[in-house]
Amino acid sequence: MRNIAATIQDYFLGLQHIGYVVDDLETSLAEFAQIYGVDLTSVRLEPEAGVDSPSRFAFFSVAGTEFELIEACDPDLKALIETYPSGAGGINHTAWRVRELDKVMSLLADKGIVPGHVTPAGPVTFGNKTLVYLDPKTTGGHLIELIEIAE
């Protein structure tokens, strides 16, 4: 008889993005443009130019996969990022799009996997996205972000 209990994979919809930590956003964007042919006019920057923020982000797609470049502008945030194995640069985290984030978190909690990193209190909502980072201490050192997008 097939086990009909829900598994984590039943709630995964696909890869949302791959996040890279970079020292300089403009330099890294130029490198990605040179390597992958990224059209810089299609890059989404957050926050928008002129907005003071502890970090800057650039989002773009390569062959249907979204990339997120992360430049920490605040010394405290930079120190936090650098505490993780990938903090000096390179792939920082993988973000998965999921459905029913609350159920996913319950299933993970049953396995001892809990929120952490920049969302230690649990999921947070920005616009139509609810996201949570999993504590790398409970995931074997992997920094994983889960995102549910309200349709």
Q: Confidence class of residue 125 from pLDDT cuts 50, 70 and 90?
A: very high
Q: What percent of the chain has pLDDT over 90?
A: 45
Q: How many degrees, rounded to 5, is the angle at CA 67 between CA 65 and CA 73?
A: 170
Q: Is the pLDDT of residue 104 over 90?
A: yes
**Cβ count within 10 A of residue 117:** 20
Write down the pLDDT at residue 147: 96
| Residue 135: Cβ-neighbour burial (10 angstroms; 0-12, 13-18, 19+) | middle
CA proximity to 126, closest of 70, 68, 47: 47
CA proximity to 81, closest of 99, 64, 68, 98: 68
Write down the pLDDT at residue 33: 87
Predicted model pTM: 0.75
Q: Confidence class of residue 22 from pLDDT cuts 50, 70 and 90?
A: confident
Q: Confidence class of residue 52 from pLDDT cuts 50, 70 and 90?
A: confident
Amino acid letter, 129: K
Write down the pLDDT at residue 49: 64
Mean pLDDT of 30-38: 85
Write down the pLDDT at residue 124: 96
User: What is the C-alpha to C-alpha distance for residues 123 and 134, in angstroms, rounded to an integer?
Assistant: 10
Q: Is the pLDDT of residue 14 over 60?
A: yes
Mean pLDDT of 13-30: 90
Question: What does the block give as tokens for 3?
Answer: 């086990």
Write down the pLDDT at residue 5: 62
Domains contained in the chain, CATH given? 11-149 (3.10.180.10)
Is the distance from CB of 40 to CB of 33 less than 8 angstroms?
yes
For the stretch 58-84, pLDDT in tens is 999 988 889 999 898 888 888 877 776
Q: Is the pLDDT of residue 150 over 90?
A: yes
